[in-house]
Chains A and B, each alone.
Chain A
Amino acid sequence: MDVHRLVGPVPFDDLPQDPRPEMDRLGIHRACVTHTLSLYSDVRAGNEALLALRDPRLLPVPVLLPAAGEPVPDRDVPMVRLCPARHRFELTGPTAVRLLAELGVTAAVELDETSPKELLALARMLPGQRLLLLNPGYRRLRAVAELMAEIPNLWVEIGTVNTQRGVEWLAGRFGAERLVFGTGAPVLDDCGPRFLLDHLELPQADIDLIAAGGSLLGSTR
């Protein structure tokens, strides 16, 4: 299960719009997908295109835009994605907090779209909110570790945890169940992370757990 893939066109490159052929080639059976229109054009149009896919291999992760007049996803989805920097809203603003409380689903956000300070604040405001940190990168491992220590409901995507034995370092401190396989493909690389997943120096049960979405997706509605 790749918890972070895109479907649709991007404005800055010629990339496959359909993730399924590459998923097949790399042995990725399912993916949580967000439509690129929601990121690079119109949130509503992207979400509509996403929810029209209706492929059981592709779990829709619509983008939540906490703004007046914007629709809130009403279909059963595993999580929503928020882009506070791209869409210029406050992650801990009253609208975002109220919508997240009402939805009660996992909220996925890229680390570069917010800050550790904002994530800590959100977790204090909504202690039961499940958070998935996308694209954490490798340069802020210390900050990511602090977030994992302080926010029990925070999971981390490992595709960009790309410094030597960084994934094992996080797993040793917080448990493999807090880590999930994800790539950010096709903008980000899926080949290296897919290979890394098979070569982690962790018990096979832990690798299987990370591959399946950690403990995050098992209990998401």
Chain B
Amino acid sequence: MILDAHGHLGTWPDFLIPDPSADGMVTLMDRLGIDAIGISHLLAVGPSAEEGNRLAFAAAERHPGRIGVWQVYNPHQRNRLTDQGVWGVKIHPDVHECALDDRRYDPVWELGLPVLAHGQTGSPWSDPAQFAAVARRHPGVPLLLGHAGLWQNGFHRAAELAGPYPNVFLEICGSKMTGRWIARLAGLIGADRVVYGSDSCFLDLRTGFGRVVLAPLEDADRALILGGNLARILEGRLP
């Protein structure tokens, strides 16, 4: 089973996304053999969590089994969360300008669902060290460290910081990630702790998926990264 942990629908203000649609996403997934993608709507990441989440659920309903929902929690809007029919919760500390380990995110951790969070080395909001702090406080919450810290000069450190916390996984989408770095991360933290994501439609689904397909990995490790690990994290939450 091939599962994409990090997807989006919708537009983003500072650049053009030629195809922000769910239908376009599923068409590409069909071509590539991707079973399902977990998405948050970019409207929800941005100014309206409630309305964006509604759009995400609507897209999932139109594409049953193919699109899963990461419901966004905005700590300023304190929007409702559900534990039904979702992959988990998405938070973006940098957009929300609220640090990952800020107590205002406590409703997210208390829900106990898997959490996908934007991660960015050196950021005051989402540095990998903050993931370690949260993982220590909430060892039962599966926590996906988005982009593995985003910047190449932070990948190694992200793996070292996440290593001691078995509930933290390195999610590998991002424009600075390389096939070589995916293989390195698998070597550093173990392939069972690395999770494929594409950041599509923000980024192109084919580029993110192809990066793993062509990365210099053993096939067993590639299978874990492309879906085996996420299937384990989402056990009971997939159709």
Please encode chain B, from 181 to 207, with 1 for each CB lying within 8 Å of some chain A CB and 0 for all others. 000000000000000000011111111
Interface size of B by CB at 8 A reads 37
B16 touches A142 (CB 8 A): yes
B179 touches A192 (CB 8 A): yes
Residues in B with CB closer than 8 Å to A199 are: 31-32, 206, 210
Stretch binding the partner chain, chosen from A44-52, A73-81, A110-118, A163-171: A163-171
A15 touches B180 (CB 8 A): yes
Chain B CB within 8 A of A188 CB: yes
B209 touches A163 (CB 8 A): no
Interface size of A by CB at 8 A reads 32
For chain B, residues 141 to 198, give those with C-beta under 8 angstroms from any C-beta of chain A.
Answer: 152-153, 175-180
Chain B CB within 8 A of A189 CB: yes
Residues in B with CB closer than 8 Å to A189 are: 177-180, 207, 211
For chain A, residues 154 to 200, give those with C-beta under 8 angstroms from any C-beta of chain B.
Answer: 160, 162-169, 185-186, 188-196, 199
Residues in A with CB closer than 8 Å to B179 are: 189-192
Nearest opposing residue in chain A for B180, CB measure: A186
CB distance from A175 to the nearest CB of B (A): 16
Most buried by A among B16, B176, B201, B209: B16
Stretch binding the partner chain, chosen from A89-97, A132-140, A210-218: A132-140
Residues in A with CB closer than 8 Å to B153 are: 12
Chain B CB within 8 A of A25 CB: yes
A86 to B70, CA, bound (A): 41
A166 to B215, CA, bound (A): 23
A164 to B21, CA, bound (A): 9
A195 touches B204 (CB 8 A): no
Residues in B with CB closer than 8 Å to A165 are: 18-19, 24, 204
Nearest opposing residue in chain B for A142, CB measure: B16
Residues in A with CB closer than 8 Å to B213 are: 191, 195
Residues in A with CB closer than 8 Å to B19 are: 164-165, 169
Chain B CB within 8 A of A13 CB: yes
User: A164-B201, A186-B180, A190-B179 are contacts. A196–B206 as well, Cβ < 8 Å?
Assistant: yes
Residues in B with CB closer than 8 Å to A160 are: 175
Interface residue from A12, A169, A185, A193 paired with B207 (Cβ < 8 Å): A193
Residues in A with CB closer than 8 Å to B209 are: 192, 195
Nearest opposing residue in chain A for B27, CB measure: A201
A163 touches B201 (CB 8 A): yes
B15 touches A142 (CB 8 A): yes
B17 touches A164 (CB 8 A): yes
Chain B CB within 8 A of A99 CB: no
A137 to B175, CA, bound (A): 9
Interface residue from B20, B175, B180, B212 paired with A164 (Cβ < 8 Å): B20
Chain B CB within 8 A of A105 CB: no
Interface residue from B28, B152, B210 paired with A191 (Cβ < 8 Å): B210
A25 to B217, CA, bound (A): 12
CB distance from A197 to the nearest CB of B (A): 9
A169 to B18, CA, bound (A): 6
A13 to B210, CA, bound (A): 23
Please encode chain B, from 7 to 42, with 1 for each CB lying within 8 Å of some chain A CB and 0 for all others. 000000011111110001100100110000000000
Chain A CB within 8 A of B214 CB: yes
Nearest opposing residue in chain A for B181, CB measure: A189
User: A189-B178, A189-B179 are contacts. A195–B16 as well, Cβ < 8 Å?
Assistant: no
Residues in A with CB closer than 8 Å to B52 are: none
A186 touches B178 (CB 8 A): yes
Nearest opposing residue in chain A for B213, CB measure: A195
Nearest opposing residue in chain A for B32, CB measure: A199
Residues in A with CB closer than 8 Å to B202 are: 163-164
Residues in A with CB closer than 8 Å to B206 are: 192, 195-196, 199
**Residue positions of A touching B, CB distance < 8 A:** 12-13, 15, 25-26, 137-142, 160, 162-169, 185-186, 188-196, 199
Question: Which 5 residue pairs spanning A and B have beta carbons closest together?
Answer: A195-B210, A191-B179, A192-B211, A191-B214, A192-B207
Q: 28 pairs across A/B with beta carbons < 8 Å?
A: A12-B153, A15-B180, A138-B203, A139-B15, A160-B175, A163-B202, A163-B203, A164-B205, A166-B204, A168-B18, A186-B178, A188-B178, A189-B180, A189-B207, A189-B211, A190-B178, A191-B179, A191-B180, A191-B211, A191-B212, A192-B179, A192-B209, A192-B211, A194-B210, A195-B206, A195-B211, A199-B32, A199-B206
